[in-house]
Structure 1
C-alpha cells in the first residue's frame, strides 16, 4: 500500500505531535505554518502535562525522556491568596505518584517536537486559507490551526463564541522584583473574587507571567488598577511592577459537544476541533489528539477508516472535557480558590474516564 500524503495546517504542539508520530513510522507529512519562523512570537506560559493526556502523547511520540529533562516538577505548587488581605488560604505542593503533572514552558515543549522532526517538514510563512487549497495535492488535510481555524469550515459551520471574559497578560522579571517572586513561589499564585481574578505563573529562566481576568468586551482597554481597587497591595504589585506590555486575550469557546459529519480527506484536532476555556486541558488534549490520529493512520490500511476511528475516539472525549470545563466555569464565578482546585481535579478525572 502506498503511504498517504498528509498535510497538517498549524505548527502548534498538537499538529507537531501528530507529525512527529507519523514520521517515526515512516509516513509522509508536511506542516504548513503561517508564522515566518519558530521564533516569530512568544509561545505562551507554562503547561502542566497530565499523565493520561499530555504525558501519554509524549510517550507515543517517543519524547518523554526529553520532556523529563527540562520539565519543572516544582512548578506544580499552587498558592491561593485572599484578594483583600493577601493571606494564604490555600497551598498545594507537588506530590509524587500517579497525579504528578510537571510544568514546562510551552515554547520549550514546542521545541522538543520541532527538534525531532525531519528537516524541511515545516513550510514556514505558508498560510493556508481553506482545505480546498490543499486537497488536490494531499490525501488528508488535518486542521491543527487553532481558534480561528481556516480548515474547520470544510466540516462545520460552528464559530468561536466570546465568553464575556477577558484575560489581560503581562510579565515580570523575578530578579528585578524579588518580593513579588517570593509571593508567587515556584508555581502558580491565584486570587479571585467573583469573576475577577489575578494570577501569576513562574516560568523558566526567572520569568513570571501575570494574568488579570475580568468580564469586559473583547476589545476593551481597561485600567486594571481601577478594576482591582481595594485588592491587597502585594497582588496589585503584579500590575504596578509589570515589565512588559499589557496584551488582551479575550476568551472564546466552541459550543459544548461540537462535532461534525465525517468528510473524507479532512479532519481537525486541538482547538480547531474543541476550543475550551484555558484551564490547562486544551494543550494536553491537542497533543493526545495528534498522537491518537497518527496512531490510527499507522494502524489502519484504509486512510478514511483511520480518520473515522480517530473521530469516534476524540469527539466523545472532547465533549466530556467541554462539559467539565463548563461546570468549572460556573464554579469559578461563585467559589473560593480552594473549591476551584478541587473542581480542577474533578475536571481531569472526568476527561480520563471519557
Structure 2
C-alpha cells in the first residue's frame, strides 16, 4: 500500500498525557486532523501526579510551537526552581535559589499542564474510555485498533503515547520495562502552611533532597499549598506484599518506614509519617538501553512508550519534544512514511544518548549528593 499524505491520513494517538496532547495540538494548528484515544473514562478520572519542570531547550520549545508558551508562564512557578540538599538530620548542605528572572525550568503541576493542553484542542478530539487492546492489520496499513470495549477503529497512523506499559509498543518492539530495583513511595501533605508548617519550612518553594546512601527522600512543593514527598528505597518490587501488607494499610507501612528511617532526625521523619491519607507505591521501571526498532510505516512511539528512563527530570520534556518533532514532520513531509522516518532519525539517537547517561540513575537518588547530569536532566521524581 502506498503511504498516504498526512493531510489525508487518519491519525490516531493513543494516550492523553502531555506527549500525546502536545502532538495533537500542534497537528491541529497545522491543519491536520487527529484523534486521541485514552483508557481513562474522563479527564478527571485520576490524579495526574506532582509537579514538573519544563526546560527551555525541549519542553518549552514544544509549547511555543503549540502556541501555549505565554499561557504556560501564567501558570508556572519560577520559584519552584529552588533546590535544597539536606542530610538526614535536616541540616541544609547546599541551596540553589533561582534568580529573579530565571525561567529556564519553572515548575507546573502535571494536572495544570494537562488541562492547558486539553483546553487547547478542538472539541471531541479526545475519546475517553478507549483502552487499547491490540493493533491489527498489515504493517503498510491500514491498521485496526481493537479496544477493550469491543470497538474497532481503522487508521493510517498509530502514535503510541501511552506511557511505560504501552499497548502500542508491541507493534514495533518486543522490549518490556524492567524493574530498576529502586522504589518510590509517595506521601501527600495538604494545607502545609497551616497544618505542616515545619515541613513547609524544610522544603521551601521548590524541591528538597536527602539521602544516606541506602535510603532517601525527595520533597516537592506543588501549587495549592501541597507538598509531595517521595520516599526512595532499594527494595523488591513486591516489598509491600512480602511484608504481609497491602498498599491501603497506611499504619502498617508507616511503622515499617519509621523503622527503616530510624536513624534520621525526628524533624525529617515527620516527612515520612505525617502524611495526609494513604501512601502511593511507585516502583521505578526503565526500558533496556538502547531501545530502538525497525522502521514501521504506520506505527511509531513517543515519550515513555519509546524510551522509559529513571525519573530524573527529562521524561515529560523529552515526550513533548518528541511530540513536537513528530507533528512538524507530519506537517512538512509528503507521506506518513516519510514523516516517521524523519522523526525517528532524530528521536532514536537522542533518546539513546540520554538513556545511556541516565541508565542506573535511580540508584543515584540514594546518594548523599544530588547527581549532576548537566543539561540532560536533574534529579527529580
Cα deviation per residue 1:169-228 (whole Å; 9 max; x = unaligned)? 010121311111111100001101114111211000001011101011112225111111
Aligned 8 A contact 2:90 2:265 in 1: yes
Aligned 8 A contact 2:182 2:362 in 1: no
Aligned to 1:56: 61
Aligned to 2:164: 147
1:232 aligns with 2:265: yes
1:135 to 122, 132, 143: 143
Aligned to 1:352: none
Aligned to 1:32: 37
Aligned 8 A contact 1:131 1:266 in 2: no
Aligned 8 A contact 1:152 1:272 in 2: yes
Aligned to 1:336: 368
Aligned to 1:82: 87
Aligned to 2:176: 159
Q: CA deviation at 1:294?
A: 0.3
| Inter-CA distance 348–242: structure 2 relative to 1 (3 Å threshold) | closer
Aligned 8 A contact 1:18 1:294 in 2: yes
2:127 to 101, 123, 126: 123
1:107 aligns with 2:89: no
Q: CA deviation at 1:95?
A: 2.9
Query: What SS class does the counterpart of residue 117 from structure 2 fall into?
Result: helix
Q: CA deviation at 1:101?
A: 0.6
Q: CA RMSD in A?
A: 1.7
Q: Partners in 1 of 2:123 and 2:136 — Cα distance?
A: 26
Q: Partners in 1 of 2:90 and 2:102 — Cα distance?
A: 32
Q: CA deviation at 1:44?
A: 0.8
Q: Partners in 2 of 1:210 and 1:132 — Cα distance?
A: 42
Aligned to 1:11: 16
Aligned to 2:347: 314
Corresponding pairs, count: 344
Query: What SS class does the counterpart of residue 218 from structure 1 fall into?
Result: coil
Q: Partners in 2 of 1:98 and 1:186 — Cα distance?
A: 14
Q: Partners in 2 of 1:304 and 1:80 — Cα distance?
A: 48
| Inter-CA distance 79–241: structure 2 relative to 1 (3 Å threshold) | same
Aligned to 2:229: 210
Moved runs in structure 1, 4+ residues, more than 6 A?
A: none
Aligned to 1:244: 277
Q: CA deviation at 1:348?
A: 3.7
1:198 to 207, 212, 217: 217
Aligned 8 A contact 1:195 1:332 in 2: no
Q: Gaps (5+ residues) in structure 1? A: 350-354
Q: Partners in 2 of 1:249 and 1:98 — Cα distance?
A: 31
Q: CA deviation at 1:234?
A: 1.3
Q: Partners in 2 of 1:286 and 1:299 — Cα distance?
A: 20
Give TM-score scaled by structure 2 length. Answer: 0.87
| Inter-CA distance 205–9: structure 2 relative to 1 (3 Å threshold) | same
Aligned 8 A contact 1:328 1:347 in 2: no
Q: Partners in 1 of 2:364 and 2:129 — Cα distance?
A: 41
Counterparts of 1:151-300 in structure 2, within 5 Å, are 151-173=168-190, 174=192, 175-221=194-240, 222=253, 223-300=256-333
Q: Partners in 2 of 1:96 and 1:219 — Cα distance?
A: 45
Q: Partners in 1 of 2:363 and 2:228 — Cα distance?
A: 25
| Inter-CA distance 246–14: structure 2 relative to 1 (3 Å threshold) | same
| Inter-CA distance 284–96: structure 2 relative to 1 (3 Å threshold) | farther
Q: CA deviation at 1:236?
A: 0.5
